[in-house]
Amino acid sequence: METPNQNIKPVTTKINEKGNIEIGGCDLVDVAKKHGTPLYIYCEKTIREMAKAYKDAFSSYKKTHFMFASKAFMTKAIVQILSCEGFGFDTVSGGEMYTVKSVLGDLKTCLLNGNNKSEEELNMAIDNNIRLISVDNFLELAMLNRIAKSKNKTVDILLRITPGIECHTHKYIQTGHLDSKFGFDLTQLDEAIESIVEDYKNLNLKGLHAHIGSQIFETKVYYDEVKIMLGEFKRIYDKFGIKLTEMNLGGGLGINYTINDRAPSVYEIAKQIIDSIDKYTEEYNLEKPTICIEPGRSIVGTAGVTLYKVGTSKTIPISNKKYVAVDGGMADNPRPSLYQAVYEAEVVNKRDKNKKEKITIAGRYCESGDILINDVELPELNSNDLLCIYDTGAYGYSMSSNYNRTLKPAVVLLNNGSAKEIVKRQTYNQLVENDMLL
């Protein structure tokens, strides 16, 4: 069965009777008129369908928790939508925890993870009854135990490990291989467990956590990840007599950014995970653990598109290469300049198939590398035309900046013909409000 991450466009996308692109029953020309550009747009139905697909795909494995990886896109409204779908939240900072808490009142459905958590963040997590903390290193073990002890509390923890799996994905977003800044190397695991058993009485070790990469297209890596993790469960039981009960497999499922991409469906990765659990719990004589899946990109990536207004254009005389500039770029979407991410785009307001031309879509920022899409075929663009770049829902808004002192765009959620602003456009006042004169 196909799942929305395998589409380029949000599930409600169509061309309406005016010839304009419509998402969630809303004409994007009208949405741009009302909310301005650049504009982040999310299709609520796509987010919910993807969340439901995860639940359905794992429905035969009852002990599954889903935690949305907040780093992909975190706002109060996304907390409302995904908590309503039964998801918890994988958080990595005080800001992400604060956002969840401001909606839900506590952090009982959350996990805190990260390679350099501050004392303040650990305090915040414990004080708000976080479900689990994924401990990344020896220093953190000692610090967390000290904080928990001072509060007279016992904290449930996972140990983040690097299982040594290399995914065929962009090198900047691989996190599970052996040379990684995240987690304990498998050769350090026993020392970490010994310290918990002997010295850290305020920590309760529940299980292991790994994340083997992002934008993953291969399904077998999940089978191998489970095999390695359960191998460690068995080894730890044999050596320490500790029965681990929780296995967090991270996120990573890819999405189709271009027509050449072939992301698997959620059902395909669920099958690999469940098959591997069945095989290795039986082979190692283990009880089936609670599992946790932490998707980010695949939940919100396809649901999000960015709307831009076309401005100037320039043709290089010697090569005839044409640049068309839009009113956004690397500050609202750093992915192309950061790791050469590739996208598909469409013109929102015209469908003139005859007059296509090859152009490069340039951002408005003062960096030559601020190019959103290289060499894309589109109908001839004029200033004030509207351009829609698909699949910008993950790691766009959340990685945005105020580079060149530009304002962060608004975020609008589209559903059933209604366009609801879920994040307001920043104002110049907000831009300078923390600046102090000498």
Ligand X SMILES: Cc1ncc(COP(=O)(O)O)c(C=O)c1O
Burial class (CB in 10 A: 0-12, 13-18, 19+), 429: exposed
Stretch in the footprint of ligand X (CB under 6 A) among 290-298, 333-341, 407-415, 417-425: 290-298
- Which residues contact residue 235 at a Cβ distance below 8 angstroms, ignoring those fewer than 6 apart? none
Side chain identity, residue 87: F
Q: Which of 24, 163, 295, 329 binds ligand X (CB under 6 A)?
A: 295
Q: Which of 294, 344, 346, 385 binds ligand X (CB under 6 A)?
A: 294
Helix %, strand %, coil % of the chain (to 5): 35, 25, 40
Instruction: Pick between residue 266 and residue 325 the one whose CB is nearest to ligand X.
Output: 266
Work out how close the CB of 298 gets to ligand X at its nearest, in angstroms, rounded to a whole number. 6
Instruction: Pick between residue 21 and residue 212 the one whose CB is nearest to ligand X.
Output: 212
Stretch in the footprint of ligand X (CB under 6 A) among 10-18, 190-198, 246-254, 258-266: 246-254
Closest to 69 measured CA to CA, from 297, 269, 305: 297
Q: Which of 6, 298, 302, 406 binds ligand X (CB under 6 A)?
A: 298
**Distance from C-alpha of 87 to C-alpha of 91, rounded to nearest angstrom:** 13
Does residue 4 belong to the site contacting ligand X (CB under 6 A)? no
Q: Which residue has the tokens 């069965």?
A: 1
Q: Tell me if the bond preceding 38 is cis, omega within 30° of 0.
A: yes
Q: Is the dihedral of CA 54, 395, 178, 132 positive or negative?
A: negative
Q: Which of 21, 26, 39, 72 binds ligand X (CB under 6 A)?
A: 72
- Residues that bind ligand X (rule: CB under 6 A) add up to a total of 17
Stretch in the footprint of ligand X (CB under 6 A) among 145-153, 236-244, 247-255, 340-348: 247-255
Does residue 180 belong to the site contacting ligand X (CB under 6 A)? no
φ and ψ of 413, to 5 deg: -100, 125
Task: Please say if 292 is a catalytic residue.
Answer: no
Does residue 211 belong to the site contacting ligand X (CB under 6 A)? yes
Catalytic residue among 43, 84, 167, 366: 366
- DSSP 8-state class, residue 253: B
The count of C-alpha atoms lying within 13 angstroms of the C-alpha of 322, restricted to the half-sphere facing its C-beta, is 13
Q: Are 386 and 37 in contact (CB under 8 A)?
A: yes
Work out how close the CB of 160 gets to ligand X at its nearest, in angstroms, rounded to a whole number. 8
Q: Which residue has the tokens 């070790």?
A: 205
Does residue 297 belong to the site contacting ligand X (CB under 6 A)? yes
φ and ψ of 15, to 5 deg: -100, 125
Does residue 175 belong to the site contacting ligand X (CB under 6 A)? yes
Measured at the CA of 375, the angle between CA 371 and CA 377, to 5 degrees, comes to 125
Q: Binding string to ligand X for residues 268 to 287, with x set by CB under 6 A, is what?
A: --------------------
Does residue 214 belong to the site contacting ligand X (CB under 6 A)? yes
Write out the two tokens for 229: 């993790």
Stretch in the footprint of ligand X (CB under 6 A) among 7-15, 294-302, 331-339, 426-434: 294-302
**Distance from C-alpha of 343 to C-alpha of 334, rounded to nearest angstrom:** 12
Q: Binding string to ligand X for residues 344 to 383, with x set by CB under 6 A, is what?
A: ----------------------------------------
Q: Binding string to ligand X for residues 120 to 159, with x set by CB under 6 A, is what?
A: ----------------------------------------
Does residue 69 belong to the site contacting ligand X (CB under 6 A)? yes
CA distances from 372 to 41, 148, 260, 399 (A): 17, 46, 18, 15
Residues marked active site are found at: 366
Residues binding ligand X (CB under 6 A): 69, 72, 90, 113, 175, 211, 214, 250-253, 294-298, 394
